[in-house]
Amino acid sequence: MENAKSFLSSLLSAGGASGRGAPAAAVSSIYVYPIKSCRGISLSQAPVSPTGFRWDRQWLVVNSKGRAYTQRVEPKLALVEIEMPNGAFDEGWEPTVDSYMVIKAPGMDPLKVPLVAEYAVADEVSVWEWSGPAHDGGVGAADWFSSYLGKPSRLVRFWTASEIRPVDVKYAQGHKVLFADGYPFLVASQGSLNALNEVLHEPININRFRPNILVDGCNPYAEDLWKEIKINNLTFNGVKLCSRCKVPTINQENGIAGTEPTETMMKYRSDHVLRPACKQKGVVYFGQNMVWQDSLLRTMNGKLVKVGDPVYVVREYASCADVPA
């Protein structure tokens, strides 16, 4: 950890070797959540795709009617751990018939889900505004999640070959996601978390906010204003402040919900405080929803984001009142 911090410090102080001027921050952590609402995987690198990092929110747990389960109604999902095969996050890696995703949870035997398999189609799967068919994860996965949650459940996989789930066109046209709530990437900063922890009675971990990219070296909440950034020559657009739901109040170590950090954030991170002249929704904000701008180019080539990559801010919003939310 100390070596990583030293590397980030030297990188930020080194300035503009790329010709863009000094970086505003550096990537300090990368997270991917293969099953929506289950625990994330911390990575040193991850391949970028138009729908987010590879494998991110590709699977979903649903009820008997095909409706998505999330931690909002099933906080026990916070305790479900995911393991992907070695090499799964290398650029160009492809699974074989011997490649499995391994799922673990307290009191449960590990479940192996093949990454290459022929499964039946699950009709009428729905998450938020979207509904459509998906790949059914099989009887074994259904039994495992039904036992763990204590109610009929299934594991489904997004049908990337036939289905498209666009992001809200009010914020970003032409972009798409799999089972993520709304946008392919969520960027937050260590500085923002540190500032929040300074005013909380008990500090919390960044896993409460489930970012994809955590950066370090910038001022608290600087990411609020990032309209366009570059990481490893990849261009990301900040399209919407991330309004937070109940999930950050759920302790990711035990699955128990409380009132913090939302109660404290309402005092200084609410729309009433940050966007007083805008229509009030009674929400708090933490992090910036982003899309990969290059994914709309026909000549797009996938690349990696790595821990230690410098973050260059190309364009910024003038204030939080100017940022879409």
Give the span between the Cα atoms of 315 and 311, in whole angstroms. Answer: 12
Q: Which residues pair with 83 in a beta bridge?
A: 102
Instruction: Note whether 308 and 8 are within 8 A (CB).
Output: yes
Give the span between the Cα atoms of 75 and 82, in whole angstroms. Answer: 16
Q: Which of 239-253, 261-275, 300-314 has the lowest mean pLDDT?
A: 300-314
- pTM (2 d.p.): 0.93
Give the span between the Cα atoms of 254 and 233, in whole angstroms. Answer: 39
Per-residue pLDDT of 167-210, as tens digits, reads: 999 999 999 999 999 999 999 999 999 999 999 999 999 999 99
Give the span between the Cα atoms of 26 and 201, in whole angstroms. Answer: 28
Sketch the domain layout of the chain as residue ranges: 2-322
